[in-house]
Chains A and B, each alone.
Chain A
Amino acid sequence: MSGTVYVPADAAALALGADAVAEAISREARRRGMDVCIVRNGSRGLFWIEPLVEVATSSGRIAYGPVAAADVPALFAAGLLDGCEHPLRLGRIDELPYLARQRRIVMNRVGIVDPGALDDYLAHGGGRGLDRARRLQPADIVAAVIDSGLRGRGGAAFPAGIKWQTVLAAPAGQKYIVCNADEGDSGTYSDRMLMEGDPFGLIEGMAIAGLAVGATKGYIYVRSEYPHASARLAATVAVAADWLRDQAVDFTIEVRKGAGSYVCGEETAMLESIEGRRGLVRAKPPLPAIAGLFGQPTVINNVVTLASVPAILAEGAAGCRDHGVGRSRGTLPFQLAGNIKYGGLVEVPFGHSLRELLHDFGGGSRTGRPLRAVQVGGPLGAYLSEAEFDTPLDYEAFAAIGASLGHGGIVAFDDSVDMARQARYALAFCAAESCGKCTPCRIGAVRGVELMDQLRAGDGSRIELLRSLCDTMTHGSLCAMGAMTPNPVLSALDHFPEDFA
């Protein structure tokens, strides 16, 4: 008796005991004299059923979850390897509604392939984008990316192809591709899941970017809080070096680890950090596309943006362009977090409403109480009230209500939340994470926390000064960190004034 069992090695699954489950399966199989191949895949992103064990059967991959190590003997007894019935059996994985209702394009191999196996990657459609790119002129690769409508998934949503075009046109002896893997927004994890679950997809995207703009060197800047992703990347980069060389692609990648600074996810601070300096934000211009890493033209995109590129080359720009609404084309892997019943990764085209995500996917709050507020786009994103839950998930629609989609992180709160406390937290976060270069952010955040303390202690007269401070930070700060910190503060103040009374 033999079989293949999938136990995710994704950090979220590990946190829920996936290693113990894998160990138990191995032990149980040995005990039963069975030849079981355990593949440590990425996560499917359905965290309430992690650790999620899948078994390859003739009728597809059958899911069991959430599995505890203690469940394993019983699962074997019930016929796990044949996909037999058991109370933890969830059925065919791809028929789970949470997954079936998604449109997974960039995350399409995550949770399916063995992330360490290049052949598995290639067997699941990997490499075809690079293959095509190798036969194109740089300008044609750039044109395909422009045509796809792909916008940067890190938060700023700048058209990726236009950025590449600028770098392509900039004359220089050396250009760089920098992958921003400093995914620091609270409640976000799509970059991490991709790096852990499909790292070759990122490598391929970077290599294509290199061919497109004439860069031969790439850096992945990964946050130190992602040790598993970091280890996975290190191993993958070593394998990919041979793969790229075999295809005569002159492109090498170096992985650089951050040191726990949120602001190093800001692209210019990240460049400083890679260059070995303090993570201070640089003034722009010059744009990094003109003078970026070591003063050279540099493409900076985040993980999901770069990993979106191979499919665009392989399947054509339409595969991206034909999804979405308005100027928001393609899909975005949203990440449901916070007080939500079914937290996890939801990759859908732009245009769905926030409510659909919160209720149809998320199933409402985990506590069962009504959802009161949602923060979209990380710690600097606005808090939205129930009245705004029907806003379509579209960059422009969100901007119109003073909010941002950012990196697609959605953090839900039920009606027990104290929004004044949340506003204070936003300022405290800024105070803790500010790089300290510009005055409004460096001092303003601290003054903001002090004002919030006075306010919460009952001095309502401080609201006027708080708003004035927010104005100074919004319009005076050097980078988005200081400029966006007022978003959660002001939205909390505007949408939930009763909490500040």
Chain B
Amino acid sequence: MNALQEPDLGTPAPQACADGVSPPLTLRIDGIEVVVPSGTSVMRAAALAGVAIPRLCATDCLQAVGACRLCLVEIEGRKGYPASCTTPVEAGMAVRTRSPRLAELRRNVMELTLSDHPLDCLTCAANGDCELQDMAAAVGLREVRFGLSGANHLAEPRDDSNPYFGYDPAKCIVCYRCVRACEEQQGSFAITAAGRGFAARIVAGASSFLESECVSCGACVKVCPTATLIERTAVAAGSVERVVETTCAYCGVGCGFRAELDGPPDAPTIVRMTPSKRGAANLGHACVKGRFAWGYATHKDRVTKPMIRDRIADPWREVSWDEALRHAAGEFRRIQRQHGRDAVGAIVSSRCTNEEDYLVQKLVRAAFGNNNVDTCARVCHSPTGYGLGQTLGTSAGTQTFASIAHADVIMVIGANPGAAHPVFASRLKRRVRAGARLIVIDPRAIDLVDAPHVRADAHLQLRPGTNVAVLTALAHVIVTEGLMDEAFVAARCERQSFVDWHNFVARSENSPEALAEASGVPAAQVRAAARLYATGGNAAIYYGLGVTEHAQGSTAVIAIANLAMATGNLGREGVGVNPLRGQNNVQGSCDMGGFPHELPGYRHVSDAATRACFERAWGVELPPTPGLRIPNMFDAALDGSFRGLYCQGEDPAQSDPDIGHVKAALAAMECVVVQDLFLNETARFAHVFLPGSSFLEKDGTFTNAERRISRVRRVMPPLAGMADWQVTMALSEALGYPMNYGHPSEIMDEIARLTPTFAGVGYDKLERLGSLQWPCNDAAPEGTPTMHVGGFPSRPDGKGRFMITQYVPSDEQATRKYPLLLTTGRVLAQYNVGAQTRRTANLRFHAEDRLEIHPHDAGERGIADGDWVGLESRAGATELRAEVTARVQPGVVYTTFHFPESGANIVTTDSSDWATDCPEYKVTAVQVSRRTRPSAPAERVP
């Protein structure tokens, strides 16, 4: 095995027994004494003892099947030659892995395998990285006595339908690894074998990978021991020379990746990105985005030279870093002189590293001297921060992803993990296939509701905007039917807040029957779901932006926390309240003081002691009042009191609601500095463009939805010469507030010094442990996988707080003029505004946003599938094509917001969450009408 490959013990670790203990057993392998847990395979035990047994079908991320028959061993006292991968160890067993007889059998089995395999190793893309080749060498095969004229599959046609990997059945040895990976790891069941015996061949769907259920997660490609399934990039590139472990920069799952590289460090070629088994969030699994859609990082559209212009109507002028930064700093200072200290601000990016986010907020607070810093979490999970902070005391999810393996009931609210958090979705589906019950609360019939191998026990198909009605009705049932965990509530929660809440939810107006008309969910369904959640064992809630992005987003988060407390579903594995974070570092950008009212660690700016601590460290005086939130910045821009913006890694002119309003605000500013990979929509309004660096170009850390801090490592030098953290430092220096960090680890050291929940975090420890879940400090030096185990430490007296959740209808209501409710979401292949994924072959999977509309509503409007339709709200109007589907209910339409040309956010309004101003993307009253467009629809598809 090549030293760059991940270690592979052949078979997975045994699952713990029902009582959680796997008693260790002692056995001898080739005379070496080994102690392993019961249930361990002989192969794994041997690997742990340093004894490698040849194998082809076994790999430690998949259950053993004993197909290749290469791993035969001899066991004293047993007849025959059992396969070591499928034979569990027994106490006292004596195993022999080497003997002349075994060598003969293995050689002969390998000979059969190679008798149906092209002997073209020297020109094969897997040459040097091929397990078949390695094993043929290991068993000492020298000839194929059968000759090469026998029946074979060498002429089978390739399947090159997938844009990222090829399938060459001629090289296939039918080890079933790909089939198992698709089933066990991904849960798509897209790959199977067709035919039997010699005719057994691996097939995807009925015709090709592209036409199949395949979601291009790449699991099959990763486990393929030959070049049968291989990345196109690996075919194109040379062999792997080095590997850099890093963290994916797409969603909030935070998958560990291995960047496999060829070429010199200052100009490497990425051979491929493969998910790392060491990644605690993904355990070696990935999705189409992280695994394959990284080509944007070197896309020709990348801007690598700083640019400035005086007016946004002027053309861009390439300038030196120095000139760009001096210009930007000069403008910010000029604006502050003319319009006051508070007339400028910044947006930190949930796509950037913790260290970079920390620096930007530090720049705002220390160099600008105000609190006008906000994060794009404003428009996604700010209600999570507020709602969980108010109730549980900590603005974060309570569990690890691994916790779901212990859940008996899983409630998914306003989230579509199959599309937005696919690697977590695979874990969820695996648990559901293993018997956990599933409740889905969503206006749409998302995949989890009814897909092959997964079906929800309940789907509460509510009307958009009525989460709080449904959640409060669930609480009503739990309270009035006596389904609470009284002991938990008595021991762990504030008495008075509980009594108030109890009295509130018990009111008849909060019953499922009373709220059914508003929510559209039959009362019986709500009652059944409440009973299942409260009494079905460990119950875990997973929720997404379908909860937060509402006028009552924070209220809904609070309602979720209330449910978990009332039923005692907190503080252990298998339960909890779990926000599925949309972006790679949403959690981190909030943790790092990205909000205008909080310093790092969620400490309010009004807290004098906290301010004093930062003032000492930073050598400045800090303002005690909150700064402007993103929507407030735009409002203030329109009234002239806010004129300068430093916008790092965000594109509000596409992603924020009511784009007309956003654009007007941007246009009203005097200095907009955009720092990004590409000239995005916001850059149209910018005066300074600072080239950003992709996650491959810098060091740092991301914090995922489980509070897991993982390292991002530099794979290649920044294309523009500077990483984002260096740019922020330079800008700060130009502003007259120099920062001196030689490496992002020094920034993390400062964060740790100043933030109690991060006190124990450091790059050395991250190197050693792989990742850390905060809080990480003296009390929890290796981090905190499960929160709130013994209490709620950030709450007064450590007690959880119930809060009353009165349902208030959204301002966005269906009217005669706008009779439909629009809700928005994402698809698997595209990511948010699409700046990255639209610049990859993911366009093959999803090339345009479409408007999902129910056949009833479509019929009333004469709309057929694929027709162009106009979409109009009180905020604006746009056009896109319709998809007529019953996934949405009558009265509801749905679209994605990945393509600027369809402009979903032209239509969304300024309605927002009462507590955090998070926009109500999920509810917009609209009208839809059929359009006849002069251009043929096909012309618009890229």
Contact = CB atoms under 8 A, between A and B. Distances in A.
A and B touch in the complex (CB under 8 A): yes
Nearest to B65: A283
Interface in B78-94: 80-81, 83, 85-88
Interface in A398-451: 430-447, 450-451
Contact of B113 (A278, A439, A469): A439
Contact of B69 (A263, A450, A465, A476): A476
B112 A472 contact: yes
A478 B69 contact: yes
A447 B69 contact: no
B105 A437 contact: no
Contacts of B174: 436, 442
B591 interface: no
B105 A285 contact: no
A271 to B, nearest CB: 14
Contact of B108 (A445, A472, A478): A472
Contacts of B195: 436
Majority DSSP secondary structure for residues of B touching A: loop
* Contact-size category for A: 35 or more
B468 interface: no
Interface string B150-186: 1100000000000000000000011010000000000
* Contact-size category for B: 35 or more
Q: Residue among B66, B146, B176 with the most chain A CB within 10 A? A: B146
B88 A477 contact: no
B844 to A, nearest CB: 30
A440 B151 contact: no
Contact of A446 (B83, B88, B193, B198): B198
Contacts of B200: 435-437, 442
A335 B818 CA distance: 79
B198 A434 contact: yes
Interface string B91-118: 0000000000000010011001101100
B72 interface: yes
B197 interface: yes
Contacts of B72: 475-476
A278 B81 CA distance: 26
Contacts, number: 108
B81 A475 contact: yes
Majority DSSP secondary structure for residues of A touching B: helix
Given A283-B65, A437-B65, A478-B67, A446 B196 contact: no
Contacts of B88: 285
Nearest to B102: A475
B223 interface: no
Contact of A442 (B86, B145, B197): B197
Contact of B86 (A283, A430, A432): A283
A279 B194 CA distance: 11
B91 to A, nearest CB: 15
Contacts of B173: 439
Nearest to A430: B197
B199 interface: yes
B112 A440 contact: yes
Nearest to B79: A475
Interface in B137-152: 145-146, 150-151
B80 to A, nearest CB: 6
Contact of A450 (B86, B105, B151, B199): B151
Contacts of B199: 436
Contacts of A475: 72, 80-81, 105
Contact of B67 (A263, A430, A437, A472): A437
A444 B67 CA distance: 13
A468 B86 contact: no
Interface in A440-486: 440-447, 450-451, 465, 468-469, 471-472, 475-478
Contact of B151 (A284, A446, A477): A446
Contacts of A284: 86
A298 interface: no
B183 to A, nearest CB: 10
A308 interface: no
A261 interface: yes
B228 to A, nearest CB: 15
Contacts of B68: 438-439
Contacts of A444: 112
Nearest to B175: A439
A285 B146 contact: no
Nearest to A279: B196
A290 to B, nearest CB: 11
Contacts of A451: 146
Given A439-B67, A439-B113, A433 B80 contact: no
Contacts of B745: none
B105 A476 contact: yes
B198 A445 contact: yes
Interface string B110-142: 001101100000000000000000000000000
B208 interface: no
A444 B72 CA distance: 17
Contacts of A285: 86-88
B64 interface: yes
A478 B109 CA distance: 12
B197 A478 contact: no
Contacts of A282: 65
11 contacts: A284-B86, A285-B87, A430-B197, A436-B195, A436-B200, A438-B67, A438-B68, A440-B69, A468-B145, A471-B105, A472-B105
Closest 3 CB pairs of A and B: A436-B200, A283-B66, A434-B197
Given A283-B83, A446-B150, 9 more contacts: A263-B196, A278-B196, A432-B197, A435-B196, A439-B67, A443-B113, A446-B197, A475-B72, A475-B80
